[in-house]
Structure 1
Amino acid sequence: MSTEGYDSSKSSFDDAAENAKENFKDAANSTQNSANEFKQNFNQTINQDNKKVLAGILGIFFGGIGVHKFILGYNTEGFILLGITLISIPLMCLIIGVFTIYIPVFIGLIEGIIYLTKSDEEFYHTYQLNKKA
């Protein structure tokens, strides 16, 4: 009877050891996957932050010609701001351009401030992922 108890406890110990090995392998794989996901998300966050700051600063200083829109990939809106500025220059002879030339400058200033005050995640989801105009 003693050998049966020994064999039974040895087999249950072997089963428990095998289960522990499998659980350890699963945990190691899960940890490796989590580390890889974190690394990818971290690299994306760094790129998002740089684009946010760049677009914000360019919006404040060069918003009148729409450079901040081109940086974010909004080419149509960038050409509209650039077009308003270029049309306003010759219209300055007729006094109308004196008023219209400031419109894209104010738009760029306001958008630049908005870009810089948003959080990184909010900026990414709003302007880069969802492409809000």
Structure 2
Amino acid sequence: MDQNTINEGKTLGLVAYLTLFGTLIAFFMNQEKRNEFTTFHVRQALGLGLIYILIAMVISSLDSMMISMSFWIFFSILYFYGLFGAISGKCNKIPILGDLFQKLFKSIGQ
């Protein structure tokens, strides 16, 4: 991936991490140009958003403030990791799950 592609995709890469709506906005705005950098971050953000929702449904039923706060801190760190990667122009995969997200959502951006 060349520096020009990264520079063109930074804005939408950043938008992808702003909730699932941001991911959808970045996805649809990337349909015309098919920027590889943006596609990478859309996949990562989509995976994080879906995993977040699934785990949040389980955590919310536990009714424990300590578990809920740990969950929020953990996902906040993951989102900021992806967000700072998009800002700095790097394709850092989310730890542990990043490869899985790239494989599951490989049809996005093709």
Q: How does the TM-score come out when normalised to structure 2?
A: 0.43
Higher relative contact order (CA 8 A, sep 6+): 2
Which structure has the highest helix share of the two?
A: 1
Using structure 1 for the length normalisation, give the TM-score.
Answer: 0.38
